[in-house]
Amino acid sequence: MLSALWDSLLCAIGGTTPASSWEQEQQAWINGIRKQHPKVWSLLLARRTDSQAPRKILCVPASQSLYLWGDDAFSEKAAKEHILQPVSEKYCDTGDFMSLCGTKVRLSGNEDLVFAYLPARNSRTVRILRTCTVQLQNTEITLWYIDRPFVGGLPLDDDIRHRSACQTIALFRSYPCNEIVFSDVDLFMHDISLLQQARRSDGVHAFCKVVPSLQQCVQAVHRTTLTRLGWGPNTTHAHAHAHAHAGVMTEADAAQLEAACEEYLMGGIGKHVYNWILHEHQVTEYDKIHSSRYLAVLAGIRAAGWSALDNVPEALRCEQAAAVAEVKKLASAVTPIAKLAVLSRVLSMIAEAVTSHAAQKEQDHPMNPEFGTDNLIQILAYVVANAAPQYQALAADVRYIKEYHFAPCPSGGSREELTLCHYEAVQLWLLHKADSEQAATTQARGKAPGQ
């Protein structure tokens, strides 16, 4: 009967003794039910007078598929949906079960659970990873470890650390309680679009009139969204450490969520915000950034090539076509994270090209100079110059990233900061070169003939 079905299932998917990781998953889930939902816990342990009655089944979702175990996400209904019992004794061999919420579940074969919703279009298949039997307060309970929860979540084999921003957002939107959160973000993005289109009779861009500032408003929406999802800046690390032993959410996972929310938000408004920043640079910083002198420096470097750069040894001068092509991709990147990724790849491409070239030169000239930061800045200036005139908005991109990139890098923020520092240094170097050349030209014109 049912016991035979369970026994065959145990043999098919790996025995009865869970490894330590399974034990951690089990303990975290059981503790969650016991502490947060004592009524459900009592129902789980309730015994029937019939000694032959089949025991209840507690389904334990893999933590990496259900890593948002906040008080709101782990509801009483969610707990009851994961406690099953056979529909009746005569249906045991067919594998028909009912959750404590009354939802039908059918065991198909020995690997899959079909969790049947009404309407049928909401049905889903959940895979059983492992089973075991435990004693909970003198009550024997069967545990089924499943690859995803019956409501929300993603399959276990799609690890959170390798999900794209779209997949992470899809995961959180799969929980009905979170739909209102993203609806509010969508409404904010719509408002920004309308504001961008508003008529400006005084010639001042509407974004300039946002109080306290557009940047602060966007950051507040990002922070509020995270908080409503249960992983705001004030709770992320505390939750991560509290659930570290259960494998529920690490700080890297929290950073992944923050980055995904930023991508979603800036993906909707990034084009409008960036165009405004570009407009501001053309109007308020024209003399510094987009002046004819600055563009002349870029054109001069393109024309003169490496000879225009006095701090790049011959051994480090090499083809940088790949890096130049990558810089041009900044024009099509929309979000700060996407633009920062382009800037990071450019640095990697430069370093790879120079290292490969220097290694080849080393065979002929063993005393080649080292590749230092000063060399990198001028090589990067060479790359930026050769990306013009198709792309020449580096200053606007750096400002856009600095002001609208809120989420920390999952591997730490120091690398991001160093990347931006390199490009800011390039900007200063190009401006200094432009000013120096202009001063030299003015001085030469001011000299009297014959002097």
Report pLDDT digits (tens) over 276-288: 998 887 665 555 5
DSSP assigned state of 71: T
Percent of the chain having pLDDT more than 90? 19
User: What mean pLDDT do residues 83-88 have?
Assistant: 81
Paired residues of 266 in beta bridges: none
Residue 427 has pLDDT above 60, yes or no: yes
Q: State how far the alpha carbon of 440 is from the alpha carbons of 274, 381, 436, in Å.
A: 35, 21, 6
CB of 334 closer than 8 Å to CB of 326:
no
Residue 451 lies inside a defined structural domain of this protein: no
Question: Does residue 138 share a domain with residue 23?
Answer: yes
- Concatenated DSSP letters of 206-257: GGGG-SS-HHHHHHHHHHHHHHHTT--TTTHHHHHHHTTTTTS--HHHHHHH
In a shared domain, residues 265 and 343: no
- Nearest one of 94, 103, 30, 93 to 61, comparing CA atoms: 30
Of the pLDDT bands very low, low, confident and very high (cuts 50, 70, 90), residue 252 is low
Peptide bond preceding 389: is omega within 30 degrees of 0, i.e. cis? yes
Asked if 43 and 82 touch (Cβ cutoff 8 Å), the reply is no
Predicted confidence (pLDDT) at residue 23 exceeds the cutoff of 50:
yes
Longest CA pairwise span in the chain (Å): 117
Q: Please give the residue that has the higher pLDDT: either 84 or 149.
A: 84
**231 located within any domain:** yes
Q: What is the mean pLDDT of residues 420-435?
A: 88
Which tens digit of pLDDT belongs to each residue from 150-186? 776 655 544 444 467 777 787 777 677 788 898 999 9
> Does 216 share its domain with 299?
no
Average pLDDT over residues 249-277: 85
83 burial type by CB count under 10 A (0-12 exposed, 13-18 middle, 19+ buried): buried
Task: Give the total number of structural domains in the chain.
Answer: 3
In a domain, 87, yes or no: yes
Give the residue among 227, 239, 196, 232 at the shortest CA–CA distance from 214: 196
Q: What is the arithmetic mean of pLDDT over 14-20?
A: 39
- Same domain, yes or no, for 263 and 300? no
170/414 Cα distance (integer angstroms): 29
Q: Cα(225)–Cα(184) distance, rounded to whole angstroms?
A: 9
Comparison of pLDDT for 363 and 223, the residue scoring more: 223
- Specify whether 223 is located in the same domain as 305: no
Give me the helix-helix angle, 373-387 and 414-446, nearest 10°.
Answer: 70
Which residue matches tokens 């070169």? 433
Of the residues 282, 316, 347, the one at which a domain ends: 282
Residue 262 lies in a domain: yes
Residues 215 and 328 placed together within one structural domain of the fold? no
The CATH number for 330's domain is 1.20.1050.80
Question: Does one domain contain both 434 and 404?
Answer: yes
CA-only gyration radius of the chain, Å: 30
Q: Would residue 446 count as lying in a domain?
A: no
First and final C-alpha spacing in the chain: 111
Same domain, 232 and 297: no
Tokens of 424: 């800011």
- Among 120, 146, 172, the domain-final residue is 146
In this prediction, what percent of the chain has a pLDDT beyond 70?
A: 68
Residue 112 lies in a domain: yes
**313 plus 406 within the same structural domain:** yes
Q: How far is CA 291 from CA 118, 407, 430, in A?
A: 65, 33, 12
Considering 81, 112, 146, which residue would you say is the last residue of a domain?
A: 146
Q: At residue 398, what is the residue type?
A: V
Residue 64 lies in a domain: yes
Residue 328: CB atoms within 10 A of its CB come to 14
Please report whether residue 287 resides in a domain: no
Buried b / exposed e along 259-289 (16+ C-beta atoms within 10 A): bbbbbbbbbbbbebbbebbbeebeeeeeeeb
Same structural domain, 349 and 435? yes
Which of 257-271, 347-361, 395-409 is least confident?
347-361
pLDDT tens digits for 108-126? Answer: 655 455 555 444 556 777 7
Is residue 269 located within the same domain as residue 393? no
Q: Examine the domain organization and report whether 328 and 391 are in the same domain.
A: yes
Check residue 283 and give its pLDDT: 64
Q: What is the mean pLDDT of residues 233-253?
A: 44
16: Cβ contacts below 8 Å, ≥ 6 apart: 10, 131, 132, 133
Could you tell me the CA-to-CA distances from 93 to 58, 149, 272, 411 in Å, in that order? 19, 24, 61, 50
Q: Write out the residue range of the structural domain in which residue 310 sits.
A: 292-441
